[in-house]
Amino acid sequence: MKPIILTGDRPTGPLHLGHYIGSLKNRVILQETHKQYLIIADAQAMTDNFKDPQMIRENILEVALDYLAVGIDPTLSTIFVQSMIPELFEATFYFLNLVTVARLERNPTVKSEIAQKNFEKNLPAGFLTYPVSQAADILCFHADLVPVGDDQNPMIEQTNEIAQRFNHLYQKEFFKKVKALGGHYGRLPGIDGKAKMSKSLGNSIQLSEPYEQIKKKVQKMYTDPHHLHIDDPGQVEGNVVFTFLDAFDPDAEEILRLKEHYRRGGLGDGVLKQRLTQVLEEVIAPIRARRSEFAKDKGEVLRLCRKGSEEARQVVATTVTEMKSIMGVGTF
């Protein structure tokens, strides 16, 4: 039996380069050797976008198109929509009793996102508890592996805590420990260099971005504010252009040479940005072309999501039935 992967994204907009380098590349590679379920987490997206459900609904298609465009094969991987699996919410309800509010408040990913979204004084309960929903998504598939960006590691840790708590309470090794799989590169910053890449922060480059838009965004990238003239020595550390070149340029030796040149002076930011623009276009152009082809039949893409959701629901329903039997719930 193949090991099981569970992974996915919240449909708050098309996916960007941070998603690609963080976990999407791993998802494409591992689908050949693992049984993979890809969740489009529209219900979780409601926890901080509850005023705009139509936007979330529309973006289900956008995320699905991005999955297919990067190379996810629907004959190898199952793409499903979270809100179409009601048993996931039933499992979430039970899991909420296995974690305390204090533990959720200590989750560093949640704390960071609460601050980012200015939720400190008006925190939706759903947002605070979405790590429990994420745990249900993972555990209900008995996932072995979850490809994630490094900012999601606390979520995997909390998932394992919930699994261990369930097993301990009911004296049965029902849920297994899940392993996080990091991306090919750590967290990718936004083009402003101030936070992780995020569409909501306006500092991202989407996988569907046209060439002229890529060029425009690269020109805005943060470099070294003290590198005012070409002859000035420049700082590589914290320089977003070099961060992106490290992540996407296949010629590592040339990047080392460019770093040395930049540090001693004589290399302008414009040269680096021109190189990065071409590198990113080489990454995005084939994805953009495939996405355009899939978008010609959006009905088929949504049909794949519905079909995948039906398959996924059967798996989750079996898990929840077994879980309730262990708990002694729903049987009398």
Beta-bridge mates of residue 78: 37
Rounded CA-CA distance 135/200 in Å is 24
Rounded CA-CA distance 23/7 in Å is 9
Predicted local confidence at residue 202, as pLDDT? 81
Average pLDDT of the segment spanning 36-65? 92
Q: What's the CATH number of domain 4-188+298-327, 3.40.50.1110, 3.40.50.620, 3.30.70.270, 3.30.420.40? A: 3.40.50.620
Burial of residue 36 (number of CB atoms within 10 Å: 0-12, 13-18, 19+)? buried
Band of residue 132 on the pLDDT scale cut at 50, 70, 90: very high
Window from 96-100, 120-124, 297-301 with minimum mean pLDDT: 120-124
Average pLDDT of the segment spanning 38-51? 90
Neighbouring CB atoms inside 10 A of 306's CB total 13
Rounded CA-CA distance 18/185 in Å is 9
Window from 4-13, 54-63, 270-279 with minimum mean pLDDT: 4-13
Q: Which is more confidently placed, 46 or 166?
A: 166
Rounded CA-CA distance 234/276 in Å is 17
Q: Which candidate, 103, 105, 162, 167, places its Cα nearest to that of 138?
A: 162
Contact 140, 320 (CB under 8 A): yes
Handedness of CA 252, 256, 258, 263 (dihedral sign): positive
Average pLDDT of the segment spanning 271-295? 97
Taking the domains of the chain in order of start, what are their residue ranges? 4-188+298-327, 199-291
- Reported pTM: 0.91
pLDDT digits (tens, 9 = 90+) for 157-216: 999 999 999 999 999 999 999 999 876 666 788 898 877 787 777 889 999 999 999 999
Band of residue 4 on the pLDDT scale cut at 50, 70, 90: confident
Q: What's the CATH number of domain 199-291, 3.40.228.10, 3.40.47.10, 1.10.240.10, 1.10.3720.10? A: 1.10.240.10
Window from 83-87, 175-179, 219-223, 301-305 with minimum mean pLDDT: 219-223
Predicted local confidence at residue 222, as pLDDT? 86
- Quick check: helix, strand or coil at residue 117? coil
pLDDT digits (tens, 9 = 90+) for 71-110: 999 999 999 999 999 999 999 999 999 999 999 999 988 8
Predicted local confidence at residue 235, as pLDDT? 92
79 — phi, psi (to 5°)?
-95, 125
Beta-bridge mates of residue 100: none
Q: Which candidate, 192, 201, 155, places its Cα nearest to that of 146?
A: 155
- Quick check: helix, strand or coil at residue 308? helix
- Identity (one letter) of the amino acid at 231? D
Band of residue 324 on the pLDDT scale cut at 50, 70, 90: very high
CATH topology agreement for domains 4-188+298-327 and 199-291: no
pLDDT at 306 over 70: yes
Rounded CA-CA distance 295/222 in Å is 33
Predicted local confidence at residue 1, as pLDDT? 66
Contact 188, 243 (CB under 8 A): yes
pLDDT at 318 over 70: yes
Predicted local confidence at residue 277, as pLDDT? 98
